[in-house]
């Protein structure tokens, strides 16, 4: 993501004056051209060039067909304009990303690519990018995420009633998942009838290209979609039925794989959705374990070695016949379970720290572990029982809650992005003269 230079009125005026002086014109390099103005910030030609290069590399890595250079540049600049508005909002709200957050995010990106941070930096350098550029890109994306979280996601609530209503309506299809691709032809906020009709006509023409003329959906999306996933070929990924945007919910379940919908109207514009793949629901079984433990933690008066010794003594006393629950109540530093004699109840996979879970996996029913070390201290663990549990229903409710939240947040985000663009001054100099220097247009 490119850096955007900010210009005060005086420096910009001086630069223009020099450019108009014949002697100075021969002595200086040509000025970097402004391609857009967003409120008081300028987006430069060099910024756009760098961003277009990055997008081309990303699309090539995903084997997404490229639109023409002119179309791609317009698409990229449109995205940069929206991002710049959000970054201005972050600055106004005094939002920041500190070095620790940024380094942690970069390590996560490197780990997702199965690399250390050093290996990731070396790979970037070989591909003509610097770790400094990527740090700046990640920093900007984190700021934008904070702005969206504050203005959109934090306002979204999903009630138990909404989950219940969804389950009542979805029935047996609640766990069906759909792999979708999407094209949005946007309309301005409060569009005129002519603008709505123009957008509808464009959406119908794009569908005709894809269905009748066999144009590649990804390439059309990359070149024509106003959706946030345009440079991914319009790919929305896999979505459970609950996560389908509301406007798609009645259309997608009736589509066949490979089908492209008729234009679907929303406040943001007209949508074309393609059903790429579909998969059904499956039963979800897990093994739960019932266990109890005594935790002995180091403290200012007890070293780690002394904690281990006490845990070993407690293990031996239990093995000799003393009551586990009584010793847990007396000695365990896990106060939450100590009151219940060390009982943890039924534990799902992944709910315990790795060392604890690994110890449980090796125990037989009724068996007592040797002292087990974790970051909390030393544990004496007893496995009481194992069982297979169908968690389809509970997992389904959790998934539905998450995906209903995501659906609502996505819809609110789309409307909010449209609103902030409408309220901004945007001079998009790649657009036709008749569309440039607009105040509050689509830019």
Distances (CA, A) of 18 to 8, 12, 44, 45, 350: 16, 10, 18, 19, 66
DSSP 26: H
Please compute Rg for the chain using Cα positions. 29
The residue assigned the tokens 């089908």 is: 259
Give the closest residue to 368 by CA, choosing from 347, 352, 384. Answer: 384
d(CA 105, CA 41): 27
* Contact present, 34 and 42 (Cβ < 8 Å): yes
- Taken in order of first residue, the domains within the chain and their CATH numbers are 9-151 (1.10.4030.10), 158-282+394-436 (3.10.50.40), 286-390 (3.10.50.40)
Question: pTM of this prediction?
Answer: 0.55
Strand partners, 387: 288
Angle of CA points 369, 370, 373, to nearest 5°? 105
Residue 195, Cβ density class (10 Å: 0-12 exposed, 13-18 middle, ≥19 buried): middle
Give the closest residue to 335 by CA, choosing from 303, 297, 289. Answer: 297
pLDDT by residue for the chain (443 residues), tens only, comes to: 332 222 222 222 222 222 222 333 334 445 789 999 999 999 999 999 989 988 998 888 888 888 899 999 999 999 999 999 999 999 999 988 888 888 888 888 888 878 888 888 888 888 777 788 888 889 999 999 999 988 998 888 888 888 877 776 665 555 688 899 999 999 988 899 999 999 999 999 999 999 999 999 999 999 999 988 999 999 999 887 777 888 888 899 888 889 999 999 998 899 999 999 888 755 567 788 999 999 999 988 899 999 999 999 999 999 999 999 999 999 999 988 999 999 999 888 888 888 899 999 999 999 999 999 988 899 999 999 998 876 656 666 777 788 788 888 888 898 899 999 999 999 999 874 434 344 444 44
């Amino acid at each position: 993501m490119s850096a955007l230079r900010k210009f005060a009125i005086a420096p910009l005026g001086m630069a223009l004056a020099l450019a108009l002086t014949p002697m100075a014109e021969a002595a200086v390099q040509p000025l970097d051209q402004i391609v857009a103005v967003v409120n008081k910030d300028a987006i430069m030609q060099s910024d756009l060039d760098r961003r277009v290069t990055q997008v081309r590399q990303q699309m090539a890595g995903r084997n997404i067909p490229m639109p023409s250079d002119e179309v791609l540049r317009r698409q990229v600049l449109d995205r940069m304009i929206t991002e710049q508005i959000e970054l201005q909002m972050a600055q106004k709200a005094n939002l920041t990303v500190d070095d620790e957050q940024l380094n942690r995010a970069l390590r996560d990106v490197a780990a997702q690519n199965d690399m250390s941070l050093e290996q990731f930096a070396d790979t970037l350098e070989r591909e003509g990018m610097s770790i400094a550029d990527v740090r700046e890109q990640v920093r900007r994306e984190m700021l934008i995420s904070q702005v969206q979280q504050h203005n959109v996601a934090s306002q979204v609530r999903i009630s138990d009633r909404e989950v219940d209503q969804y389950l009542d309506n979805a029935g047996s299809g609640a766990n069906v998942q759909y792999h979708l691709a999407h094209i949005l032809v946007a309309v301005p906020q409060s569009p005129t009838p002519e603008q709505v009709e123009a957008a509808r006509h464009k959406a119908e023409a794009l569908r005709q290209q894809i269905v009748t003329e066999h144009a590649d959906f990804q390439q059309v999306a990359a070149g024509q979609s106003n959706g946030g996933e345009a440079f991914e070929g319009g790919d929305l990924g896999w979505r459970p039925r609950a996560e389908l945007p509301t406007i798609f919910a009645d259309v997608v379940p009736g589509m066949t794989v490979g089908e492209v919908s008729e234009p679907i109207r929303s406040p943001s514009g007209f949508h074309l959705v393609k059903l790429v793949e579909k998969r059904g629901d499956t039963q979800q079984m897990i093994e739960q374990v019932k266990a109890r433990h005594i935790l002995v933690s180091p403290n200012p008066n007890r070293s780690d070695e002394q904690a281990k010794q006490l845990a070993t003594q407690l293990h031996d006393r239990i093995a000799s016949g003393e009551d586990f629950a009584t010793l847990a109540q007396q000695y365990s530093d896990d106060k939450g379970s100590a009151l219940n004699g060390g009982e943890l109840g039924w534990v799902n996979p992944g709910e315990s720290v790795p060392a604890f879970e690994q110890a449980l996996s090796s125990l037989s029913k009724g068996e007592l572990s040797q002292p087990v070390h974790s970051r909390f201290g030393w544990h004496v663990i007893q496995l009481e029982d194992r069982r297979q549990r169908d968690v389809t229903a509970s997992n389904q409710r959790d998934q539905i809650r998450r995906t209903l939240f995501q659906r609502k947040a996505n819809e609110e985000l789309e409307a909010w992005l449209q609103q902030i663009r409408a309220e901004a001054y945007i001079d998009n100099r790649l657009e036709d003269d008749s569309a440039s220097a607009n105040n509050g247009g689509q830019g």
